[in-house]
């Protein structure tokens, strides 16, 4: 019987989008934001950034569904991203890519205790 190789998962094969620089992220930090259908095809689509749960959910969706750096720079803010990073749910591959390129988002050792 031959050896069966495990193929890479979709998460590992998908080309994820990252900005050139964290400082390029200058999106809104408050108020209501409606994402285009390419980023959020749910019925919700509009997020109140003053609500921490909705803010986190919007950041998750934008990071996971972005088709290019412009999506990230238009809807994400660097300081806000650093503040919510440890609270948002992202695929492991995505989290590792962002943390390796932008150490500022990675939790510090003191934060993980």
Specify the pTM.
0.84
Q: Tell whether 57 is covered by a domain.
A: yes
Please write the tens of the pLDDT for every residue from 63-87: 999 999 999 999 999 999 999 999 9
Alpha helices in the chain, H assignment, sequence order:
10-13, 52-65, 69-75, 78-84, 92-101
Contact 75, 47 (CB under 8 A): no
Please write the tens of the pLDDT for every residue from 5-38: 555 554 455 678 999 999 999 999 999 999 999 9
Q: Which domain holds residue 68?
A: 24-105
Q: Tell whether 60 is covered by a domain.
A: yes
Q: Tell whether 16 is covered by a domain.
A: no
Q: Tell whether 43 is covered by a domain.
A: yes
Domain count, the chain: 1
């Amino acid at each position: 019987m031959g050896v069966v190789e495990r193929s890479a998962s979709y998460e590992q094969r998908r080309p994820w989008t990252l900005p050139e620089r964290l400082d390029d992220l200058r999106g809104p930090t408050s108020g209501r934001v409606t994402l285009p259908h390419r980023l959020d095809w749910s019925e919700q689509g509009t997020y109140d950034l003053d609500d921490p749960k909705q803010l986190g959910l919007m950041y998750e969706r934008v990071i996971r569904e972005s088709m290019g750096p412009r999506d990230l720079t238009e809807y994400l803010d660097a300081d806000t991203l650093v503040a919510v990073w440890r609270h948002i749910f992202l695929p492991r591959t995505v989290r590792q890519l962002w943390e390796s390129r932008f150490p500022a988002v990675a939790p510090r050792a003191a934060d993980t205790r």
